[in-house]
């Protein structure tokens, strides 16, 4: 008979929860996809200095909401560009961070 150890069960549960949460984030953010830039548009915005490099936005987002970055997009919010960053902590909690694209400043963490 096979017995599961508690750390193994916790690890499996964590993986399952992260998978479920990730798919929910993808579904919820799909509605916003029309406002997000394509990879080509993103490169153009960065080279025209309308947005900081993605690594800068990611670093600032992780400082505000520590965890693994599971999704990051450059989108239009009214007339300005923002990075939408989703992080997941080890305990499975998801945080969404909005970063001003021009300055790289974190504006919202939820």
| Model confidence at 2: pLDDT above 50 | no
- pLDDT 10s digits, 22-59: 544 444 444 445 699 999 999 999 999 999 999 999 99
Listed ranges 1-5, 6-10, 44-48; the one with the highest mean pLDDT: 44-48
Give 68's contacts (C-beta < 8 A, 6+ positions apart).
87, 88, 89
The C-alpha atoms of residue 42 and residue 49 are separated, in whole angstroms, by 11
How confident is the model at residue 38, as a pLDDT? Answer: 97
When pLDDT is averaged across residues 87-97 and rounded to a whole number, the result is 96
CB 59 within 8 A of CB 45: no
How confident is the model at residue 52, as a pLDDT? Answer: 98
| Model confidence at 17: pLDDT above 60 | no
* Of 47, 34, 105, 39, nearest in space to 72 by CA: 39
Pick the residue with more confidence: 54 or 1?
54
Domain locations along the chain: 6-109
Q: What are phi and psi for residue 85, nearest 5 degrees?
A: -120, 130
Torsion angle defined by CA atoms of residues 38, 44, 47 and 52, in that order, rounded to the nearest 10 degrees:
-30
Binning pLDDT at 50, 70 and 90, where does residue 82 land? very high
When pLDDT is averaged across residues 93-104 and rounded to a whole number, the result is 97
């Amino acid at each position: 008979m096979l017995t599961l150890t508690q750390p193994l069960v916790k690890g499996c549960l964590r993986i399952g929860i992260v998978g479920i949460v990730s798919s929910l984030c993808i579904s919820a953010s799909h509605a916003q996809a029309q406002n997000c830039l394509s990879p080509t548009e993103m490169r153009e915005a960065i080279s025209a200095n309308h947005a900081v490099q993605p690594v800068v936005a990611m670093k600032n987002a992780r400082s505000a909401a520590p965890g693994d970055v599971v999704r990051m997009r450059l989108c239009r919010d009214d007339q300005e560009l923002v990075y939408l960053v989703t992080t997941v902590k080890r305990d499975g909690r998801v945080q969404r961070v909005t970063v001003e694209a021009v300055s790289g400043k974190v504006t919202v963490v939820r």
